[in-house]
Structure 1
Amino acid sequence: MSKKPIIRVIIPAYNEAASIPLVIGAIPSVVTEIIVCSNNSNDDTVINARNSGATVVEEPIPGYGNACLKGMEYVAALGEATDIIVFLDGDYSDYPEQLTELVAPIIKEDIDFVIGARVKDLREVGSMTIPQIFGNWLATTLMRFSFNSRFTDLGPFRAIKYDKLLELEMEDRTYGWTVEMQLKVLKKGFTYKEVMMKYRNRIGVSKVSGTVKGAIFAGVKILTWIFKYGFKK
């Protein structure tokens, strides 16, 4: 990119009142706008996000994908230029200050899509549950067999060129959002790269991996995308 890119961050958040100011405060100033999508939160997520300087949109229908899609809907309605979209969780498990490292391959190498890979050596002990670790391994292994892909993680901290994001026509509304994006990137032949990222124990309890129900539903969604979409050549 020959000019300074316009970067917008979308943060899906459900009851992240304690962590959201920390997340927003750690995002580098290179970002043009931070968009927090409150996904039916019933705590102070909305007010804390606004007080921290973020734009807040609300999606009352539960679902990680629903929140991300609402954020995209807001960006589309702006009628303003956007070059890069970064997705980042609101639980402070990622290190938002590493955003500049995440977007660097897009800006400097013209890569289409970048994953922040939560590598073992840079993770705090206990920051990823056994179901998360296994689910990541299984999904990326199946993608490797199907597409000869190089993905090692389904990390939610990710960056993508905005025009490429629109081409993906994202549709998953719950737990399959991340794997859907990666599968479609592979199917469309977009360029991609992983950047090693630090990862810590989140603030609060995970709504997905922290519950048996969430872990099962997430696993089913991931496998559904893999088998219904991933193996279609």
Structure 2
Amino acid sequence: MTKIKVIIPAFNEEESIPLVIKDIPSTVDEVIVVSNNSTDNTEVNAKKAGATVLVEQRKGYGYACLKGMDYIAEQNEKPDIVVFLDGDYSDYPEELTKIVQPIIEDNIDFVVGARTKTLREEGSMTKPQIFGNWLATSLMKLFFRSTFTDLGPFRAIKYEKLLNLKMEDKTYGWTVEMQLKALKQKLSYREIPVNYRNRIGVSKVSGTIKGAIFAGVKILTWIFKYSFK
């Protein structure tokens, strides 16, 4: 039986986090919500919904993901697959089954949920997000002959391969770092088209000019760092 654990970084997602947890398939062994210094009822609501709740006081998407990984590393029984998804209910958690399917059935190392235009709800991605995704994936195609089309947060990876990536980004560069390192280490990968809807609440990254600019800079920094290594 394939053992799957889910890591959900969450900052002030009290309304959405119970919905996310409820829709995760029962085949998942453990849902780990990492509260990224939330000041609302995110932690209480996540616990009530049945998740393991961790607290990471240092602000940053990567910090939260790394906290979840540290927790898993301390467990005696390790998972076969780790899935990452956001806590704002923009992803469709029930699609986890099709995200992990290529790993289970075809022995693929890494799967990214691609937020294709035809499956995106209108307004669910901002213009800076769409442009940033296009630029990042175009550069990956140019430098690494990649076939990635998105930096989608909904993704699954074999646990042993995740450890080998030695992830380090603490903030907005987490997703692109993972994809770049997967390319550099020649992991087998696949994109699966996924549905995407307008999030509950206001985005902490794409919803602000400062956040969008910072995320863009981090993404480009990682790409050029690995392109000229």
The 8 Å contact of residues 37 and 56 in structure 2, kept in 1 or not, is answered as yes
Give CA deviations for 1:162-194 in whole Å, capped at 9, x if unaligned.
000000000000000000000000000000000
- 2:79 is the alignment partner of 1:82: yes
Instruction: Tell me, in whole angstroms, the C-alpha distance in 1 between the residues paired with 2:211 and 2:37.
Output: 17
Q: Which amino acid aligns with 2:215?
A: A
Instruction: Tell me, in whole angstroms, the C-alpha distance in 1 between the residues paired with 2:64 and 2:4.
Output: 19
Question: Hey, what does 2:5 align to over in structure 1?
Answer: 8
Q: Which amino acid aligns with 1:118?
A: R
The 8 Å contact of residues 72 and 78 in structure 2, kept in 1 or not, is answered as no
The 8 Å contact of residues 183 and 230 in structure 1, kept in 2 or not, is answered as no
The 8 Å contact of residues 100 and 156 in structure 2, kept in 1 or not, is answered as yes
Instruction: Tell me, in whole angstroms, the C-alpha distance in 2 between the residues paired with 1:79 and 1:190.
Output: 26
Question: Hey, what does 1:107 align to over in structure 2?
Answer: 104
Structure 1 residue 229, shift from structure 2 partner: 1.5
Give CA deviations for 1:139-162 in whole Å, capped at 9, x if unaligned.
000000011000000000000000
Gaps of 5+ in 1: none
The 8 Å contact of residues 135 and 219 in structure 1, kept in 2 or not, is answered as yes
From 67, 70, 74, the counterpart of 1:70: 67
Gaps of 5+ in 2: none
Q: Which amino acid aligns with 1:178?
A: T
From 17, 25, 38, the counterpart of 2:35: 38
Give the alignment of 1:125-204 within 5 angstroms: 125-204=122-201
SS of aligned partner of 1:111: coil
Instruction: Tell me, in whole angstroms, the C-alpha distance in 1 between the residues paired with 2:109 and 2:212.
Output: 30
Percent of residue pairs identical: 70
The 8 Å contact of residues 40 and 62 in structure 1, kept in 2 or not, is answered as yes
Structure 1 residue 81, shift from structure 2 partner: 2.3
Question: Hey, what does 1:19 align to over in structure 2?
Answer: 16
Q: Which amino acid aligns with 1:53?
A: G
Q: Which amino acid aligns with 2:63?
A: N
Instruction: Tell me, in whole angstroms, the C-alpha distance in 2 between the residues paired with 1:50 and 1:162.
Output: 24
Question: How large is the RMSD of aligned CA atoms in angstroms?
Answer: 0.5
The 8 Å contact of residues 10 and 42 in structure 2, kept in 1 or not, is answered as yes
Instruction: Tell me, in whole angstroms, the C-alpha distance in 2 between the residues paired with 1:46 and 1:102.
Output: 26
SS of aligned partner of 1:10: strand
SS of aligned partner of 1:121: helix
The 8 Å contact of residues 146 and 231 in structure 1, kept in 2 or not, is answered as no
Structure 1 residue 230, shift from structure 2 partner: 2.9
Greater than 6 Å deviation, 4+ residue runs: none
Give CA deviations for 1:112-149 in whole Å, capped at 9, x if unaligned.
00000000000000000000000000000000001100
SS of aligned partner of 2:212: helix
Give CA deviations for 1:5-45 in whole Å, capped at 9, x if unaligned.
10000000000000000000000001000000000000000
Structure 1 residue 231, shift from structure 2 partner: 3.6
Instruction: Tell me, in whole angstroms, the C-alpha distance in 1 between the residues paired with 2:196 and 2:202.
Output: 15
- 2:93 is the alignment partner of 1:93: no
SS of aligned partner of 2:141: helix
Instruction: Tell me, in whole angstroms, the C-alpha distance in 2 between the residues paired with 1:82 and 1:220.
Output: 33
